[in-house]
Amino acid sequence: MNINDIINSIYKLPSTSLDTLTHLISEVKYPKHFHLFRENRKESKSYFLKKGIVRAYAHKDDKEVTFWLGQEGDFIFPLQTLFVGLGEYANVELLENCILYEIDLERLQNLYLNDIHIANWGRKYAEYACIKSEKLFISRQFKTSLERYQELINEYPDITQRVQLGTIASYLGISQVNLSRIRAQIR
């Protein structure tokens, strides 16, 4: 995905603001299993995902619990670091070899202060992230595991070819055995 398309999918920027923002972005490549963010560490970069798939996970009772998946076009943002200056509460791991667009957080913060359009773009992204988090929370609270799986497949049609089933089960909050039963039920 083109960086201009990713940025404008969040909030369409005037060309001068878009040029200012993209001037500070560089393309980087990292291998599968590379960690962009680590728990309890303050981060200095944000990323837009050009190609690949990632997950956010945390540790609970000696298990890894996946609670977010990102794919092409998604923004990978260290919210704890950016908004409250704390270390991150989760790890972000690449599940495939990835191509990303990288931007320094300090530079991005300066753009928020100096360009109202970029500040509004950041606010729109924060609103989008809040709504997505709320939908995920509601889904976990009120939907069956079958309904959650069907939602996941609708959002990520090729996820079962790209992500291990154990990671998908963790994301859905179910066991891998339960996931296998759900998949057999759908076929």
Backbone angles phi, psi at 23, to 5 degrees: -65, -25
What DSSP string runs through 3-50? Answer: HHHHHHHHSPPPHHHHHHHHHT-EEEEE-TT-EEE-TT----EEEEEE
pTM of this structure: 0.90
pLDDT at 53 over 90: yes
Confidence of residue 35 (pLDDT cuts 50, 70, 90): very high
Closest CA to 115 of 20, 11, 10: 20
Closest CA to 55 of 180, 141, 187, 163: 163
Closest CA to 128 of 35, 29, 9: 9
Closest CA to 45 of 15, 24, 67: 24
Name which CATH class applies to 3-142: mainly beta
Contact predicate 155/71, CB 8 Å: no
Mean pLDDT of the chain: 92
What pLDDT is stored for residue 88 in this prediction?
Answer: 84
What pLDDT is stored for residue 21 in this prediction?
Answer: 97
Q: What ranges do the domains of the chain cover?
A: 3-142
- pLDDT tens digit string along 127-145? 988 898 898 889 888 999 9
pLDDT at 83 over 90: no
Backbone angles phi, psi at 50, to 5 degrees: -80, -45
CA–CA separation, 35 and 119 (whole Å):
28
What pLDDT is stored for residue 26 in this prediction?
Answer: 98
Confidence of residue 108 (pLDDT cuts 50, 70, 90): very high
